[in-house]
Amino acid sequence: MTAQWQTELADAVRDPAELLRMLELDPALLAAARAAGRRFPLRVPRAFIARMRKGDPADPLLRQVLPLAAELESPGGFSHDPVGDLASRAAPGVLHKYHGRVLLITTGACGVHCRYCFRRHFPYADESARQADWHAALEYLRTNASVHEVILSGGDPLSLNDRTLAHLASALEQIPHITRLRIHTRQPIVLPSRVNSALLAWLKKCHLQKIVVLHVNHAHELDAAVIAALSRLRAVGLTLLNQSVLLRGVNDSVAELAALSEALFAAGVMPYYLNLLDRVQGAAHFEVSEEQACILIQGLRARLPGYLVPRLVREIPGAASKVPLMDMPARASTSNTL
Ligand SMILES: *Cc1c(COP(=O)(O)O)cnc(C)c1O
Ligand code: SF4
């Protein structure tokens, strides 16, 4: 049987002409959208489009999904695998970079295509942990007793159906040293109907500690339907965290970041990470400098309680964790006296 969310997913807008028409935008944007969309296609659910302002090409939600000519530029320093994912591959679709936790690439599919996505060039066809009923991934986890947390990622793990996910969760539960299940997903945000009774049923049944790390970049992404979906997740005992990407033209102001933290907390979600953009080819126009990022975080600290200030981090290939940014990188690197 097809669930409501699957129908909505199949009905997502993929034609830039339709998106421009729905938002009453200038058809002159179409040629570039088609050209850039050939490299990484447009995909956006109608529930997400409904939160965009009509007639505003600078809308912060639209900017996350509309292909632009700037994506076709290829400035130096922007690559296809900016975070060294392929080097940390422990088994097919299994990334083991950090102590105690392992990330599973469960699927390449996402409900939305974010233009800045660092996995836009990832070879998903060869690299899903789902092959042969998760066999190699489960075998790796069983034989590595230092792993206590499994992170379902992708793509978006909640684009898999609940039968598949429930089956995986119960296999993970049977591994004694696994105590936590973490799900990295944007699906409850772009497609809140995904949080349905079938999803809640297997989550409730699974006795691992469960954490959902959402991906919200702007307060406008949280409308009434999303807030209701998040409260359904909390009601079955999940801890909700959020990670954002700092994006030029989307959330690069103290006012927008503060509004985002406040809106998240009001919806029962704790801010977790604010990621600097991974330098993936096609996303250079979204980059905010490290110095500017530090200034924004200082502005946030001056304005919000400490628990609403996300950790500003960047991913460096080979590092033992996500790497926090210091307050004033310029001064810290030049002063060697106390
Ligand atoms: C980001 C990431 C994690 C999670 O890191 P946390 O700091 O625990 O949130 C784990 N594994 C991989 C491969 C990652 O990229
Ligand atoms: S939802 Fe996440 S993985 Fe999917 S396109 Fe957006 S940023 Fe990339």
Whether 97 lines ligand 1, by a CB cut-off of 6 Å, is: yes
- Alpha carbon of 214 to ligand 1 centroid (Å): 14
pTM: 0.94
Atom of ligand 1 nearest to the CA of 102: 11
- Alpha carbon of 321 to ligand 1 centroid (Å): 7
For helices 131-142 and 162-173, what crossing angle results, to 10°? 20
- Are the beta carbons of 297 and 262 closer than 8 angstroms? no
- Alpha carbon of 278 to ligand 1 centroid (Å): 14
The pocket around ligand 2, CB under 6 angstroms, is made up of: 110, 112-114, 117, 119, 154-156, 186, 215
Residue holding tokens 């989550």? Answer: 203
Distance CA 268, CA 270 (A): 7
Whether 95 lines ligand 1, by a CB cut-off of 6 Å, is: yes
Token pair, residue 250, equals 């989307």
Q: Whose CA is nearest to atom 3 of ligand 2?
A: 155
- Are the beta carbons of 80 and 310 closer than 8 angstroms? no
Atom of ligand 1 nearest to the CA of 95: 13
Atom of ligand 2 nearest to the CA of 153: 3
Distances (CA, A) of 231 to 115, 217, 276: 28, 19, 28
Q: What is the pLDDT along the chain (338 residues), one digit of tens a residue?
A: 799 999 999 999 999 999 999 999 999 999 999 999 998 999 999 999 999 999 999 999 999 999 999 999 878 788 777 776 777 889 999 999 999 999 999 999 999 999 999 666 666 666 788 888 899 999 999 999 999 999 999 899 999 999 999 999 999 999 999 999 999 999 999 999 999 999 999 999 999 999 999 999 999 999 999 999 999 999 999 999 999 999 999 999 999 999 999 999 999 999 999 999 988 889 999 999 999 999 999 999 999 999 999 999 999 989 999 999 976 545 544 444 44
Q: End-to-end CA distance of the chain: give it in Å, rounded.
A: 67
Atom of ligand 1 nearest to the CA of 273: 9
Whether 233 lines ligand 1, by a CB cut-off of 6 Å, is: no
Q: Which ligand is nearest to the CA of 217?
A: 2
Q: What are the structural domains of the chain?
A: 4-72 (no CATH), 86-324 (3.20.20.70)
Residues 6 or more apart whose Cβ sits within 8 Å of residue 65: 19, 42, 43, 44, 48, 112, 113, 114, 115
For helices 224-235 and 197-205, what crossing angle results, to 10°? 30
Token pair, residue 199, equals 């999803």
